[in-house]
Structure 1
Amino acid sequence: MLTLEEAQARLLALDPAQEAIEIECQSALGRYLSRDLTALRTQPAADLSAMDGYAVCGDGPWQRVGESRAGMPFAGSLAPGQCTRISTGAHMPTGSDRVLIQENAKADSNLIALAEGEDPPPPGRHVRKAGFDFGRGDTVLAKGTRLGPAQLALAIAAGHDTVPIVKPATVQVLDSGDELARPGSQCGADQIPASNGTMIAAMLAPHVGSVQLLGPVPDDLPALAAALEKADHPILVTSGGASVGDHDLIQRALIDWGAELAFWKVAIKPGKPLMVATRRRESGIQVIVGLPGNPVSSFVTCFLFVLPLVRAVAGVSDPLPKAETRIASEDLPAVGSRREFLRAVSDGARVRLAASQDSSALLALAAANCLIDRPAGAPAVSAGEPVPVYMLQNG
């Protein structure tokens, strides 16, 4: 079996074809740049005042000869002993080299002097020099940067009204199993509501363009083949049927459909039967990620594999989840040959196990807000020791 890191690396090396597009800045919140963004202009384009007051030339007192306002610069130039009224963000007039702030000035009609007890400002005081923020041609945002409010403001200030992103992936989710009933329908004693498809779609929705549900589908090759004929998006996620039982038919159905197995089985618990396949099409490679059917296993493997995949496709430069450290509130047992991800609840600095670690326990999963990462072969942990956790957006 592959280790977690080996499997993640092999999955992320696959490259479902996605189109690079330009979108308006006002629509780009939360997207990621597909290439470096360079400035089309210099900011600021000229020396500007950082304060309200007077732009002065030479030593005072100064004769006021005009005004420079933001958007309406003084048209002339200043000689020694002259000044203009100036507002924050206004152009420094030619000949001026500093700003005397309003609080430090004394005005007598058009004669401006230092207020009593104030020292003259040194050259360059309260002046924003041209280009101090960035210059034309500078890289202002790197490829893979997430576009938040400040990044969008920077892009616009740099002269852009659109930004380059990778077109968000569209994903289809197919959950399968004879025991699955459609949500809201009457379940027999031998059935359970099909919840995995909605769960997976909800996990992926913030990171993709759209998610379409194709199931639930029974454990039947013709039914699976019919569902797969509708799977035309760059990424397909299946849930259920990926193990080795007599009725686990996903692998066979995918191969009949023309997919090629990339790898199968990862040394993690829960989630060992994870499967990844690819299918070549004229429009580019299609990536299929087969998740186990137990809801907790499906959730954990979606978090560790499918979320990084869709983030990578969206342009995230470092798409893997990041571990944080918490203090164990209870003893944790030693770990066997497979790396374990324990459902847990963190209240800040400390973390405790959820009520159940069974891979079908949805009540405990819904209460969890993190996964405790327990490496394969790790010794027991005593209460009070630090453990790595992955925080979840899970309610």
Structure 2
Amino acid sequence: MAHTTDPSALLSVDEYRRRVAELLVPTPTVNLPLDECLGLALAEGLTAPISLPPFDNSAMDGYAVRSADLAEAAPDRPVTLPVTADIPAGRVHVDELAAGTAHRIMTGAQLPPGADATVPVERTDGGTERVRIHATVAAGANVRGSGEDVTAGQTVLDAGCTLGAAQLGMASAVGSAELPVHRPPRVLVLSTGSELVRPGTPLRDGEIYESNGTMLAAAVRQCGGTAELLHFVPDDVAAFHSALEPYLEETDLILTSGGVSAGAYEVVKDALEGDEVRFEKVAVQPGMPQGAGHYTAGGRRVPVITLPGNPVSSIVSFEVFVRPALRRAGGHSTVERPRRRATLSETLRSSPSKRQYRRGLFDPESDTVTAQGGPGSHLLSGMAAANCLIQLPEESSEAPEGITVDVWLLDG
């Protein structure tokens, strides 16, 4: 049964965040090739089966030597050694280096037994049969020791880490062809409203270009989920149900925007009447009207989150309530945006009963933040120019210039 609250009652931001988080369960683990793992969360810690480097190798192009053979070398008294082998990178079998000789060696090539250093080619005459060396070298110089970076049995990636370029490089370096990851949460994104028109087509009076669906689908993908976008669901309950039906089997979350306020033609609220959805007024600005619960049809019971329709309300609500829940469901150990403390560069008005999130531009050099655009929930240009959200607390009606505030970095 749908639930509505007393108009004067406001649910706290933190309580509603917990309610949304409880809707979603962790996605199952799948094994995927490395080139399909970017942005996903590792499901199990990765232990290196080998050491890195796996063998002692040269850090320079030059000559593998015994350092003791060069104890008397100097620019005016070079030591001349016979070059008894060439060792390119990738050679598997390497002959032992005899005392009083040198092996020409390339960067990354295996250091021969008996050698304890590499002389850079710049300190020699570059000879191929005999080489004149103009400087001493310490034992271990220009050598990458076996296990210097990673030892066999070491955990190199923790469960829950987000797999970026460096993490996938690490997995590849220790020989992993695929990884166990959490399947990305699959989100069905629905924008409702008979007034919505596809971008690129002419507008008639009373119509607007649809933006929320595009914006929310991108936000889902950006935080590690997959998004199926349904455009232009009209303000009709039957059409709403029909649009959902083909996708329920493969959906982890239904995410809607619009149709949840107190007026007429609120199709989302009307369509979910009688379902397990609670519509709330949350103490947040923008984005006060919210809804969360489950949609049941065709034997499926799918979590649903309903966001308000004004574009800034919609994306701010996603950031505050939906993104952390999706990240957690996708197995990521880091679910929140990076937070910073910054000095407010201007005085901002706030609502004493609501936690306000203003669009802002954070300057990391001065640790200051400046609001972008006004507080109106339709002012999308300020959101497009922002790199952070400025969090203003519920307790005050004014945040004076110079006060320290929390900011959520949107680029992290």
TM-score (norm 2): 0.80
The equivalent of 2:319 in structure 1 is 303
Equivalent residue number for residue 234 of structure 2: 217
Partner of 1:94: 113
Q: Is the 8 A contact 2:389 2:408 kept in 1?
A: yes
Deviation per CA, 1:277-316: give whole Å up to 9, x if none: 1357999863211111222211210222223333333332
Partner of 1:340, secondary structure, is strand
Aligned 1:316-327 pairs, distance under 5 A: 316-327=332-343
Map of 1:182 onto structure 2: 197
- Per-residue deviation, 1:234: 1.1
Find the residue that maps to 1:136 and give its secondary structure: coil
The aligned residue for residue 293 of structure 1 is 309
Aligned to 2:406: 388
Residue 32 of structure 2 is matched in structure 1 by 23
Structure 2 CA distance, aligned partners of 1:280 and 1:136? 50
User: Aligned pair in 2 of structure 1 residues 69, 281: CA closer, same or farther (>3 Å)?
Assistant: farther
Q: CA deviation at 1:381?
A: 3.0
In structure 1, C-alpha distance between the alignment counterparts of 2:153 and 2:298, rounded to whole Å: 38
Q: Contact conserved, 2:373 with 2:379, CA < 8 A, in 1? A: no
The residue type equivalent to 2:105 in the other structure is I
Where does residue 339 of structure 1 map in the other structure? 355
**Contact 2:58–2:110 (CA under 8 A) maintained in structure 1:** yes
1:264 paired residue number: 280
The superposition leaves residues 169-199 of structure 1 with CA deviations (integer Å, 9 ceiling, x where unpaired) of: 222122334x63433465444x555443233
> Residues 17 and 285 of structure 1 are in contact (CA less than 8 Å); yes or no, is this contact kept in structure 2?
no
Deviation per CA, 1:57-114, whole angstroms, max 9, x where unpaired? 3622544332322112564323433332222211111122222333334688855564
Correspondence for 2:96 = 77
Deviation readout 1:311-369 (Å, 9 max, x if unpaired): 33333211222233443232123540211112344566443334432223345444544
d(CA) in 2 for partners of 1:69, 1:79: 18
Unaligned runs of 5+ in 1: none
| Matching of residue 42 in structure 1 with residue 58 in structure 2 | no
AA of the residue aligned to 2:291: M
Aligned position for 2:260:
242
Distance 1:269 1:208 in 2: 26
The match for 1:129 among 140, 145, 161 is 145
Which stretch shows the higher mean deviation, 368-377 or 72-81? 72-81
Distance 1:45 1:215, change over 3 A: same
Q: CA 1:123–1:231 in structure 2 vs 1: closer, same or farther (change >3 Å)?
A: same
User: Is the 2:37–2:179 contact (alpha carbons within 8 Å) kept by the matching residues of 1?
Assistant: yes
1:140-171 deviation digits (Å, cap 9, x = unpaired): 22223233332222211110122232222222
Structure 1 residue 371 corresponds to structure 2 residue 389: yes
Q: Relative to structure 1, is the Cα distance of residues 79 and 239 closer, same or farther in structure 2, using a 3 angstrom cutoff?
A: same
Percent of aligned pairs sharing the same letter: 32
Q: Is the 8 A contact 2:67 2:138 kept in 1?
A: no
Q: Aligned partners of 1:151, 1:277: CA distance in 2, in Å? A: 36
C-alpha RMSD of the superposition: 3.2
Aligned twin of 1:104: 123
Residue aligning to 1:201: 217
Q: Which SS does the other structure have where 1:153 is aligned?
A: helix
Change in 2 beyond 3 A, CA 1:174/1:113: closer
- Tell me which moved more, 233-242 or 198-207: 198-207
**Residue 279 of structure 2 contacts residue 289 of structure 2 at CA under 8 Å; is this kept in 1?**
no
For residue 102 of structure 2, what is the amino acid of its counterpart?
Answer: C
Contact kept in structure 2, 1:58 and 1:80, CA below 8 Å: no
Does the CA contact (< 8 Å) of 2:392 and 2:399 recur in 1?
no
5+ unaligned residues in a row in structure 2: which ranges? Answer: 1-9, 70-78
Q: Does 1:170 align with 2:179?
A: no
Higher relative contact order by CA 8 Å / sep ≥ 6: 1 or 2?
A: 2
Q: Secondary structure at the match of 1:293?
A: coil
Structure-2 residue corresponding to 1:8: 17
**Shift in alpha-carbon separation, 1:144–1:281, aligned structure 2, 3 A:** farther
Name the aligned partner's letter for residue 384 of structure 1. G
Match in the other structure for 2:66: 57
Contact 1:187 1:193 in 2 (8 A): no
